[in-house]
Amino acid sequence: MHEKSASPGHTTQILIVDDHPIIREGMTHLLNLQEDLHVCCAAGSAEQALAAMDCRPDMAIVDISLQSDSGLELVKTLRHRYPDLIILVLSMHDESLFAERALRSGANGYLMKLEATEHVMSAIREVLAGNVYLSAAMHEKLARALTAPHKKPEGRIASLSEREFEVLHLIGLGFSTREIAEKLNRSVKTIEAHQANIKEKLNIRNGKELMRFAIQWIESQ
């Protein structure tokens, strides 16, 4: 935790990274109502977020799905460059699928956007206190995983890049290649390349088998 955020009377400076302006504005308004919190900068992409680090925030609140970037890759970069930065992931993605991966990328906590406002503040207070924030259900799931017989995290899934992981997730939810391209703001050819990489890494022969695998993987979580 930053020494600055632990100092009496210090106002925690926060960077918000989200590609939706209305989310950035709403979060900024919410946090600036708190006497000890201040949004010093906001960004809509990984590039903007890294440039905004010049404002020296104590904490970053990062969305996973940025239009042209992977939020998890940004979390890894921020953690590598700024070891003391407190990072909270705020995302629409299912916590049961993405929270553990976010923590391994360097996040201090994971919160779904569907949570109520009071949970947002609880999450921020928790990570600022030096703790990890997850929902009670996710804490229980991770506790069960820790006490279960040891196995490699996510098995073959662990070999996927963050963007490939997102594509596999969307395939499992039933999105077509074109819909995934639109959702991630990438070309169809780029998504097809990700799918080819996923099939190679997971030793999957064709698109139909990939869809079956993705659906079964999500259902097993």
Q: Which residues on neighbouring strands pair with residue 66, listed in sequence order?
A: 69
Give the 3-state DSSP-derived string for 136-187, with helices as H, strands as E and coil as C. HHHHHHHHHHHHCCCCCCCHHHHHCCHHHHHHHHHHHCCCCHHHHHHHCCCC
Ordered by start, the domain boundaries in the chain are 3-144, 155-220
Average pLDDT over every residue of 127-144: 76
Give the 3-state DSSP-derived string for 166-179, with helices as H, strands as E and coil as C. HHHHHHHCCCCHHH
Listing DSSP states for 63-100 in one string gives -SEETTEEHHHHHHHHHHH-TT-EEEEEESS-HHHHHH
Mean per-residue pLDDT of the chain: 83
What's the CA gap between 13 and 34, in Å, rounded? Answer: 12
Paired tokens of 20: 């939706």
Among 7-11, 36-40, 92-96, 160-164, name the most confident range.
36-40
Write down the residue that tokens 């391994």 correspond to: 104
Query: Does the structure show a pLDDT above 70 at 121?
Result: yes
CATH 1.10.10.10 for domain 155-220, yes or no, is yes
Angstrom CA distances, 210 to 85, 134, 139, 169, stand at: 37, 30, 30, 11
pLDDT tens column, 53-108: 999 999 999 998 777 678 888 999 999 999 999 999 988 877 777 888 888 889 99
More confident residue, 173 or 40: 40
Average pLDDT over every residue of 152-174: 78
Q: Which residues on neighbouring strands pair with residue 128, listed in sequence order?
A: none
Superfamily for domain range 3-144? Response regulator (3.40.50.2300)
